[in-house]
Amino acid sequence: MTQSLEFNAATVDEALQRACEKLGLSPEQVSYEVLDPGSAGFLGIGARDARISVTPVSAEENAGSGTNEIRSSEHYAEHSNSGAYSEDDTAQTRKQAASQDFLDEIEQYVTQTVQKMGIDARVDVYDAGEYIAVDVAVEETGLFIGQKGETIDALQYLLNVTMYKNREYLKRIVIDSEGYRQRRIEAIQGMAHRTARRVAREQRPIELPPMSPSERRIVHIFLKDNGRVTTASKGSGDDRRVTISPA
Amino acid sequence: MDQLEDLLRFLVQGIVDDPDSIEITGTENGSRVDLELRVASEDMGKVIGRGGKTIGAIRKVMKAASVKANKRVNVEVVG
* CB spacing of A117 vs B67 below 8 angstroms: no
**Tens digits of per-residue pLDDT, A136-162?**
999 888 999 999 899 999 999 999 999
- The dihedral formed by the CA atoms of A121, A164, B6 and A174, expressed in degrees to the nearest 10: -30
Q: Which amino acid is at A213?
A: P
In this prediction, residue A32 carries a pLDDT of 76
What was the ipTM of the complex prediction?
0.96
Which site among B17, B41, B44, B53 would you substitute to test the A interface, given the most A Cβ atoms closer than 10 Å to its Cβ?
Answer: B53
Residue B73's pLDDT band, with cuts at 50, 70 and 90, is very high
Q: Are B42 and A60 spatial neighbours (Cβ–Cβ below 8 Å)?
A: yes
Chain B residues with CB under 8 Å of A28 CB are 50
Chain B residues with CB under 8 Å of A154 CB are 56-61
DSSP for residue A68: S
In this prediction, residue A2 carries a pLDDT of 55
In this prediction, residue A93 carries a pLDDT of 57
Residue B76 pLDDT > 90, yes or no?
A: yes
In this prediction, residue A72 carries a pLDDT of 44
Task: For chain A, give every domain's residue range.
Answer: 5-73, 93-178, 182-246
Element of type H or E holding B68: helix B53-68
Q: Which amino acid is at B2?
A: D
Chain B residues with CB under 8 Å of A118 CB are 3, 65, 68-69
CB-based contacts of A39, cutoff 8 Å, min separation 6: A46, A47, A48
- Topology (CATH level 3) of domain A182-246: Ribosomal Protein S8; Chain: A, domain 1 (3.30.1370)
> Considering only A51-55, A103-107, A237-241, B24-28, which range has the smallest mean pLDDT?
A51-55
- Whole-prediction pTM: 0.69
Residue A76 pLDDT > 70, yes or no?
A: no
CB pairs under 8 A between A and B: 90
In this prediction, residue A8 carries a pLDDT of 79
Class of domain A93-178: alpha beta
Query: Which carries the bigger pLDDT value, residue A25 or residue A153?
Result: A153
Q: What's phi and psi for B64, nearest 5 deg? A: -60, -40
**Tens digits of per-residue pLDDT, A163-215?**
999 999 999 999 999 999 999 999 999 999 999 999 999 999 999 999 988 89
The chain-wide mean pLDDT, for chain A, equals 82
A122 - beta bridge partners?
A137
In this prediction, residue A51 carries a pLDDT of 78
Task: For chain B, give every domain's residue range.
Answer: 2-77
A157 → closest Cβ in B45, B57, B64: B57
Residue A39's pLDDT band, with cuts at 50, 70 and 90, is low
In this prediction, residue A47 carries a pLDDT of 63
Q: B2-77 in CATH: which number?
A: 3.30.300.20
Sign of the Cα pseudo-torsion (A23, A34, A65, A214, in order): negative
B27 - beta bridge partners?
B34
Mean pLDDT of A224-246: 92
In this prediction, residue A40 carries a pLDDT of 60
